[in-house]
Chains A and B, each alone.
Chain A
Amino acid sequence: MKRYDLIIVGAGPSGLSAAVEAAKRGMRVIVFDENDKPGGQLFKQIHKFFGSKEHRAKIRGFRIGEDLLKEAAEFGVKVVLNATVIGIYPQKEVTVRIEGVVEHYKGDAIIAASGASENMVTFDGWTLPGVIGAGAAQTMMNIHGVKPGRKILMLGSGNVGLVVSFQLMQCGCEVAALVDAAPRVGGYGVHAAKVARTGVPFYLSHTIVKAEGEDHVTGVTIAEVDDKFQFIPGTEKHFEVDTICLAVGLSPMSQLLKMAGCEMEDNPRRGGQVPVCDEKGRTSVAGIFAAGDVSGIEEASSAMIEGRIAGIAAAEYLGYMDSGESEQAIKEQEEALEGLRQGMFAPQNRGKHIETTDEGIQISESLLKKGYIGDDEIERYPGVRHTVGIHPVMECTQNIPCNPCQDACPKGCISIGQNITSLPIAVEGTECVGCGMCVASCSGQAIFLVDEQIEEGYASVTMPYEFLPLPETGTKGKGLGRDGSPVCDAEVIKVQTAKAFDQTHLLTIKVPEDMAMKARFFTF
């Protein structure tokens, strides 16, 4: 039996973060992961993350993963891959299956950072090849470079369903529709809007009746549901697709903690069966900690902070830090975590229907029901202003914890203020130089540069563009509205690419003057 100060289960964002903090304090740490590569799901996250600087906002998930691996290597963290922890026994004895052999380890402390598994829903034909999890889609396209399908229907409008829909389009798949049984979009409005403006129709209060096909999916029928989630006859809609992608939530993989004798609870706000633990991740069993999705479903940024807290707490538990020192270190992390747990999507608000922002502005009903803000609603937000010359238009309309735009503008044109969840405000009396840093820094792709009159009768709109092929200056096409329908002829007058934009290209199109506040995407 091999002994370690700390055994960590899972080399994902929280497990690796925990390992770094513990190793920093001189602990002998070993991390087991059943996969053949470390990083958990981080390397599948190709979008820019939300938050503020301290949360590494506007940096793409996989780059955060690369940095985390570097940090772990720097502190000498030992990660054993293809190693499945199959049991946690009394006295913190751990059994691990490595290449078909069960090995015994013993830790003085254990951190479970085993993450979550995807939920599924059943319907006629749900076992057919071609029905896949959203995680499977991300794995195939972002890790293995293979398209999950040609034409896809997405079930689930939470952030996973929205983000994966966008990623599917980025790798060249067609998304036929985005469907959710809930009456309102579950994820961030900005994620919904960037999908909707490419022309993907949203069907809220709809779900799948049947997946069709003999040996694999060849089509799908959806129908509207009433407020008791029963199908309404006559509302069926059919789509010819080869793939149905399920993004219907995650459940903590907490079985090991239950086996270890930790007190468990069924907590729907945390996503299911979770260990009862305190703010430091301490479970009811002394020396066993939990961090990340296993202790409650959130996202990678908060999982990393929870991991760091658990790592520090484990160091304190084993006497590698005195309590004063650890309290201070934990306090810093907790403040960062608190920052992420603000706003209308915070864990405490899960499932609530919030109708107005903190500023008292009505939330767009169209955004919640169709995925895009109505042309008649957009003017009510403080990021949307009209001035002469080029200026930013921030179509950020919900209180989410994110503020890179305010730091991005060198001219102080954008203000969010101290409260990270406040809506961005277009600051009066400032002069936009049109550098586009705000457009590229917005993780929600919700900022546009608009010049309402570049010449007689014409306006320009600069938008973020993350698709291939990239159009060139002079490319003619159509301007699409927020709803994805063509609204005007448009011509590309500038394409900007820069290292600081991190793969987000800035596309400037020339549109008729009256389309300055309407055209938000370009196709050709």
Chain B
Amino acid sequence: MAAEWGMIMEMRIEEHPILGVQEKGKEVIFFFNGQEIKGYEGEPIAAALKAAGVMVHRYTKKEHRPRGIFCAIGRCTDCVMVVDGIPNVRTCVTPLKKGMRVQTQDGVEAMKQAE
């Protein structure tokens, strides 16, 4: 589940002492397990989820262990989720688009309660 909105904003770096205010894409709505979440177009899905306080991206097939972001550069595949019905999408390198349906992955399919 996504965290409270107040916490969400806290994860975004509003102003950075070296980088200043980082440029963002357009603010868009997408769906995480059916729930509306705001993110910025073009940022990795994983970044938008992280900002929203989502930690678990999937559960492993055999032992049902949780996995989240690990490498954040598309190498480790820990962060894969079901995106617009397609499983095993590396959320850390897949740009966010308006209206995307992102679901927690269980094994290789969307988690049951995550419609």
Q: Which A positions have Cβ atoms within 8 angstroms of B?
A: 34-36, 46, 60, 62, 117-118, 127-133, 135-137, 139-142, 144-148, 150, 170-172, 215-216, 466-468, 470, 503
What DSSP secondary structure best describes chain A's contact surface? loop
- How distant is the Cα of A118 from the Cα of B70 in the complex, in angstroms? 11
- How distant is the Cα of A118 from the Cα of B12 in the complex, in angstroms? 25
**Complex partner residue of B18 from A128, A137, A466, CB under 8 angstroms:** A466
Docked-complex contact B17 and A503, CB < 8 angstroms: yes
Docked-complex contact A35 and B18, CB < 8 angstroms: no
Q: Which B positions have Cβ atoms within 8 angstroms of A?
A: 10-13, 15-19, 22, 24, 43-44, 47, 50-51, 55-57, 65-75, 78, 92-93, 95
Docked-complex contact B16 and A145, CB < 8 angstroms: yes
- How distant is the Cα of A215 from the Cα of B73 in the complex, in angstroms? 22
Docked-complex contact A127 and B72, CB < 8 angstroms: no
Task: Collect the chain A residues with CB atoms within 8 Å of residue B13's CB.
Answer: 141, 145-147, 171-172
Least CB separation from A470: chain B residue: B17
Docked-complex contact B19 and A142, CB < 8 angstroms: yes
Known: A127-B67, A140-B50, A144-B44. A171 touches B16 (CB 8 A): yes
CB distance from B111 to the nearest CB of A (A): 13
Docked-complex contact A132 and B47, CB < 8 angstroms: no
Docked-complex contact B17 and A132, CB < 8 angstroms: no
- How distant is the Cα of A144 from the Cα of B50 in the complex, in angstroms? 10
**Complex partner residue of B55 from A36, A145, A146, A215, CB under 8 angstroms:** A215
Docked-complex contact A146 and B16, CB < 8 angstroms: no
User: Can you list 29 residue pairs at the A/B interface with Cβ under 8 Å?
Assistant: A35-B74, A35-B93, A36-B95, A60-B18, A117-B71, A117-B75, A127-B67, A128-B66, A129-B67, A129-B68, A132-B71, A135-B73, A136-B72, A136-B92, A139-B72, A139-B73, A140-B69, A142-B19, A144-B43, A144-B44, A144-B47, A146-B12, A146-B47, A147-B10, A172-B13, A466-B18, A467-B17, A468-B15, A470-B17
**Complex partner residue of A129 from B15, B17, B55, CB under 8 angstroms:** B55
Least CB separation from B60: chain A residue: A127
- How distant is the Cα of A142 from the Cα of B68 in the complex, in angstroms? 19
Task: Collect the chain A residues with CB atoms within 8 Å of residue B92's CB.
Answer: 136, 139
**Complex partner residue of A34 from B17, B24, B44, B74, CB under 8 angstroms:** B74
- How distant is the Cα of A62 from the Cα of B16 in the complex, in angstroms? 14
Docked-complex contact A216 and B68, CB < 8 angstroms: yes
Q: Top 10 A-B pairs ranked by shortest CB distance?
A: A129-B68, A136-B72, A216-B55, A144-B47, A145-B22, A129-B55, A139-B72, A46-B18, A468-B17, A145-B13
Docked-complex contact A136 and B16, CB < 8 angstroms: no
- How distant is the Cα of A117 from the Cα of B72 in the complex, in angstroms? 12
Docked-complex contact B55 and A133, CB < 8 angstroms: no
- How distant is the Cα of A130 from the Cα of B70 in the complex, in angstroms? 8
- How distant is the Cα of A466 from the Cα of B78 in the complex, in angstroms? 33
Least CB separation from A139: chain B residue: B72
CB distance from A401 to the nearest CB of B (A): 23
Task: Collect the chain A residues with CB atoms within 8 Å of residue B71's CB.
Answer: 117-118, 132-133, 135-136
- How distant is the Cα of A118 from the Cα of B76 in the complex, in angstroms? 10
Docked-complex contact A170 and B17, CB < 8 angstroms: yes
CB distance from B64 to the nearest CB of A (A): 11
Docked-complex contact A132 and B75, CB < 8 angstroms: no
CB distance from B60 to the nearest CB of A (A): 8
- How distant is the Cα of A524 from the Cα of B19 in the complex, in angstroms? 23
Least CB separation from A125: chain B residue: B65
Task: Collect the chain B residues with CB atoms within 8 Å of residue A130's CB.
Answer: 55, 68
Least CB separation from A144: chain B residue: B47
Task: Collect the chain A residues with CB atoms within 8 Å of residue B11's CB.
Answer: 146-147
CB distance from B59 to the nearest CB of A (A): 9
Docked-complex contact A140 and B47, CB < 8 angstroms: yes
- How distant is the Cα of A118 from the Cα of B71 in the complex, in angstroms? 8
For the A-B complex with A117-B75, A128-B66 known, give 5 more contacts whose Cβ atoms are closer than 8 Å.
Answer: A35-B74, A145-B16, A146-B13, A147-B10, A216-B56
Known: A146-B11, A146-B51. A129 touches B73 (CB 8 A): no
- How distant is the Cα of A36 from the Cα of B96 in the complex, in angstroms? 13
Docked-complex contact A132 and B93, CB < 8 angstroms: no
Task: Collect the chain B residues with CB atoms within 8 Å of residue A118's CB.
Answer: 71
CB distance from A379 to the nearest CB of B (A): 32
Docked-complex contact A136 and B18, CB < 8 angstroms: no
Task: Collect the chain B residues with CB atoms within 8 Å of residue A62's CB.
Answer: 19
**Complex partner residue of A145 from B12, B67, B93, CB under 8 angstroms:** B12
Task: Collect the chain B residues with CB atoms within 8 Å of residue A129's CB.
Answer: 55-57, 66-69
Least CB separation from B49: chain A residue: A146
- How distant is the Cα of A277 from the Cα of B59 in the complex, in angstroms? 43
CB distance from B50 to the nearest CB of A (A): 5
- How distant is the Cα of A131 from the Cα of B71 in the complex, in angstroms? 10
- How distant is the Cα of A146 from the Cα of B19 in the complex, in angstroms? 13
Docked-complex contact A170 and B55, CB < 8 angstroms: no
Select the residue from A46, A127, A146 with max chain B CB neighbours within 10 A: A146
Docked-complex contact A215 and B56, CB < 8 angstroms: yes
- How distant is the Cα of A140 from the Cα of B57 in the complex, in angstroms? 16
Least CB separation from B68: chain A residue: A129
Known: A117-B75, A146-B11. A132 touches B51 (CB 8 A): no
Task: Collect the chain B residues with CB atoms within 8 Å of residue A34's CB.
Answer: 74
